[in-house]
Structure 1
Amino acid sequence: MSGGADPLREPAGGEIAGYRIESRLGRGGMAVVYRAHDPRLDRTVALKLLAPELARDDVFRQRFTHESRAAAAIDHPHIVPVFEAGETDGVLYIAMRYVDGLDLRHLLDRDGPLAFPAAVRIAAQVASALDAAHERGLVHRDVKPGNILVARGTDSDHPEHVYLTDFGLTKKSLSLTGFTSVGQFVGTLDYVSPEQIAGRPVDGRCDEYGLACVVHETLTGRPPFVRDDDTAVLRAHRNDEPPAVTAARPDLDGAVDKVLAKALAKAPDDRYPTCLAFVAALRAATPGNRRPVAGPPPWAGPVLRSGPFARRR
């Protein structure tokens, strides 16, 4: 990367940390993601660059490098593999597998709410990834549709393959709050847990809360707490009861409301002990307590080529 260039405005054809930039995939408030080529191994990667001010925060920089390496050590079929993480010219970067698919944010914006079986299949794969990370002491803290990639599966029994991404910004240990040392909030307001908002210590159950918010949106088309401004959203997460899913989806059993209410409990101790336990309860919350039969995959058209963070809320 040429000296003095703004890494978040790097033009196509540039080079960063040995990766040749091909195109920009997406941009958020704290980072930009490019499709890039790794000439050393002749492969395409998704290259994420963090905002320069984060690299100037010594605590965040050290934690990012350590936890990205910890995430890279997780070999799990539903976690986007991390190839490399580091710092170059004062910019933090993380290179990940490029996934040929689309993110759940894009899918919901395009197609609207999903069929219950498809929503459960996606949630189960995300839950499996989260529980695997929690077993290693990693808490994701930003579970949202934009961080869930959906690619084509292998056959009719597995119509989609889901990846959870953005582990480069996870927070390790139970003692960390929802803020970096420079005062930046980690998380997305529509999916953030009450304990994160309050700045209290968190564990994997905050990710369960975020996943429950995502499930609510996959079933209804809206996250549970839609308000007029950010302050009202935060207040609702801390104080309001989630709306019943069945109000928007009368085709679902009332047991679904009870399961989501428990996963969205204000106190972590009142939620399910793991993300997979939440999904198991969700799966059972069907008429007659039967496991849902295979439903149609959530594709209304051809799979679009996109990488991580293609469209992010």
Structure 2
Amino acid sequence: MRCPACRRAFSCQDGDDWTSLDCPGCGQGIRLTEELAPPSDGDGTIRIAHFELEARVGQGGFGTVWRARDGRLDRIVAVKIPRRGRLMGEAEIEGFLHEARVAAQLRHPGIVTVHEIGREHGTVYIVSDFIDGQSLSRDGIDHELSVEEVAATLATVCRALHEAHELGVTHRDLKPQNI
């Protein structure tokens, strides 16, 4: 696992209390709930398929997004994992995976590319581009945006949403933190 504060890698054991981890480098408390913590592979590395989950970068009502290293292609990606219990039945799981398959058809500079979907040990996941940057949330903006910047940003978002809607994809979590 990597500390989200100092980025130092450290190992976690299967018996560790996932609700109370502290980085051995900077002492930052890292809080994961059991329902958000994927299984360790025994050496402390948190993996799902061939992706090493390095840091939790987002959490919402549906699930968690992790910054991860793709072990096959040696690149950084985002891995989205629904909360346990969020997808109750096989029909909901298939709906989640179908939505990801449709989203993977989208090609637009304002939309992250979906690279892969999968299921491992009962957990489904979506792998997409990792965007390393600031969101439009209040915490993500380091200056007041001008009217021109706001207009340009909204135009880009609208073009991306239009492209998605043309293929029948509805963004169900449009908010500043996701832009």
Query: Would the TM-score normalized by the shorter structure come out above 0.5?
Result: yes
Deviation at 1:89, TM superposition (A): 1.5
2:169 aligned to 117, 138, 143, which one?
138
Structure-to-structure mapping, 1:262-301, within 5 angstroms = none
Equivalent-residue separation in structure 2 for 1:46 and 1:7 (angstroms): 19
Correspondence for 2:26: none
Aligned-partner Cα distance in 1 for 2:176–2:89: 28
- Give the Å deviation of 1:146: 1.2
CA RMSD of aligned residues (A): 2.3
Measured against aligned partners, the alpha-carbon deviations of 1:110-141 in whole angstroms (never above 9, x if no partner) come to 54x52110001110111111000111111113
**Distance in 2 (alpha carbons) for counterparts of 1:120 and 1:51:** 35
**TM-score, normalised to structure 2's length?**
0.72
Aligned match of 1:26: 58
Note the C-alpha offset of 1:7: 5.7
> How many Å separate the matches in 2 of 1:104 and 1:86?
30
Q: 2 CA distance for matches of 1:36 and 1:100?
A: 12
Aligned residue among 66, 74, 77 for 2:98: 66
Which of 39, 47, 62 aligns to 2:79? It is: 47
Q: Distance in 2 between matches of 1:56 and 1:14?
A: 24
Code of the aligned partner of 1:133:
A
In the alignment, which residue of structure 2 is the partner of 1:121? 152
1:212 maps to: none
Q: Which runs of 4+ in 1 moved over 6 A?
A: none
CA contact (8 A) 1:20 1:36 kept: yes
Question: Is residue 54–residue 61 contact of structure 1 (8 Å, CA) maintained in 2?
Answer: no
Task: Tell me the equivalent position of 1:8.
Answer: 36
* Matched residue count: 144
The alpha carbon displacement at 1:85 in A equals 1.6
Kept in 2: contact 1:79–1:129 (CA 8 A)? yes
1:22 to partner: Cα distance: 1.3
* Paired residues for 1:1-313 under 5 Å: 6=34, 8-10=36-38, 13-105=45-137, 106-108=139-141, 110-111=142-143, 113-148=144-179
Distance 1:7 1:60 in 2: 18
Structure with greater Cα Rg: 1
Q: Structure 1: 5+ residue runs without aligned partners?
A: 149-313
Q: What amino acid sits opposite 1:140 in the alignment?
A: H
Q: Retained in 2: the 8 A contact 1:85–1:94?
A: yes
Partner AA of 1:107 in structure 2: G
Which structure's residues are more often strand, by fraction?
A: 2
AA aligned opposite 2:148? P
* Contact 1:55-1:91 at 8 Å conserved across structures: no
Helix, strand or coil for the counterpart of 2:102?
A: helix
Shift of 1:73: 1.0
Normalized per residue, the structure richer in helix is 1
1:26, distance to aligned residue in structure 2 (A): 2.3
* Amino acid in structure 1 at the alignment position of 2:154: A
Classify the secondary structure of the residue corresponding to 1:103.
coil
1:241 aligns to what? none
Measure how far apart 1:32 and its partner are. 1.3
State whether residues 37 and 44 of structure 1, in contact with CA within 8 Å, keep that contact through their aligned partners in structure 2.
yes
Using the aligned pairs only, state the percent identity.
38
Any idea what SS the aligned residue of 1:96 has? strand
SS state at 1:85 partner? strand
Letter in 2 for 1:130: L
User: Structure 1: how far apart are the matches of 2:46 and 2:35?
Assistant: 10
